[in-house]
């Protein structure tokens, strides 16, 4: 079974995180989730979830929210250094930081391991697995772009949540689904969340 680590940081974009988690769980992927404290604050502000004070509470809340098998979802705290995702001997098949704050992006680009999110990303890079960063900031400064270029040169996928409109947007959910579809494509997970360019079934 494919194992995917999903990290949420303190940038706006909780609907992206929740939709990604939902789709991964539906795809029968083993999901490993970790959130920074700012990420938990954003999740509480931008959704109807109020994250618990510890990983066990958040695990229970997310399993109830998605009505998923508890065995398919693991939740870790940002300082839980004993978590499997902190070691190259138990590296996931891929990792997505969604959304990715500029602070987290900078820490990853410099190889810092100040918390479990940074360390897990460092492990994925060194083990030559796929790392996808979804940076949610605008405009980008030269420093932001330099950090992205450094990571891109290491094979990291930089995937800003930039939606398209050619698919016939009628709701915010359509915009979210377009971005999540692109993330799933990068993870080699089949999906039909958003119409494809040139799809003959689309008028």
What residue ranges define each of the domains in the chain, with the CATH number in brackets? 3-186 (3.40.50.1950)
What is the pLDDT of the chain when averaged over all its residues?
95
HSE-up of residue 128 (Cα within 13 Å, Cβ side): 0
- Burial of 63 (C-beta count, 10 Å sphere; 0-12/13-18/19+): middle
The structure tokens listed for 131 are 């790392």
Least confident of 10-19, 168-177, 189-198: 189-198
Write down the pLDDT at residue 199: 73
Is 96's pLDDT higher than 70?
Answer: yes
- Burial of 22 (C-beta count, 10 Å sphere; 0-12/13-18/19+): middle
Cβ atoms of 51 and 40 within 8 Å: the answer is: yes
Phi then psi dihedrals of residue 154, to 5 deg: -95, 5
Write down the pLDDT at residue 203: 45
CA distances from 70 to 49, 73, 76, 146 (A): 17, 6, 14, 40
| % pLDDT > 70, the chain | 98
Is 113's pLDDT higher than 70?
Answer: yes
What is the band of 55 on the pLDDT scale with cuts at 50, 70, 90?
Answer: very high
pLDDT in tens, 149-160: 999 999 999 999
Rounded Cα–Cα distance for residues 185 and 162 (Å): 15
113-147 burial code (b ≥16 CB/10 A, e <16): bebbbbbbbbbbbeeebbbbbbbbeeeeeeebeeb
Write down the pLDDT at residue 200: 56
Write down the pLDDT at residue 53: 79
What is the band of 87 on the pLDDT scale with cuts at 50, 70, 90?
Answer: very high
């Amino acid at each position: 079974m494919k194992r995917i680590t999903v990290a949420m940081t303190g940038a706006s974009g909780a609907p992206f995180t929740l939709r990604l988690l939902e789709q991964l769980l539906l795809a029968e992927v083993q999901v490993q989730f970790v959130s920074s404290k700012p990420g938990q604050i954003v999740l509480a502000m931008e959704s109807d979830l109020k994250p618990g004070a510890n990983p066990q509470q958040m695990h229970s809340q997310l399993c109830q929210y998605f009505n998923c098998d508890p065995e398919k979802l693991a939740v870790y705290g940002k300082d839980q250094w004993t978590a499997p995702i902190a070691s190259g001997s138990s590296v996931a098949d891929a990792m997505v930081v969604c959304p990715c704050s500029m602070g987290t992006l900078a820490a990853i680009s410099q190889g810092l391991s100040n918390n479990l999110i940074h360390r897990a990303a460092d492990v994925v890079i060194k083990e030559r697995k796929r790392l996808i960063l979804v940076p949610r900031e605008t405009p980008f400064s030269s420093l932001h772009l330099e950090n992205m270029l450094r990571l891109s040169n290491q094979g990291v996928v930089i995937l800003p949540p930039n939606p398209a409109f050619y698919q016939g947007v009628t709701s915010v959910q359509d915009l979210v689904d377009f971005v999540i579809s692109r993330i799933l494509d990068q993870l080699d997970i089949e999906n039909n969340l958003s119409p494809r360019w040139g799809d003959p079934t689309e008028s």
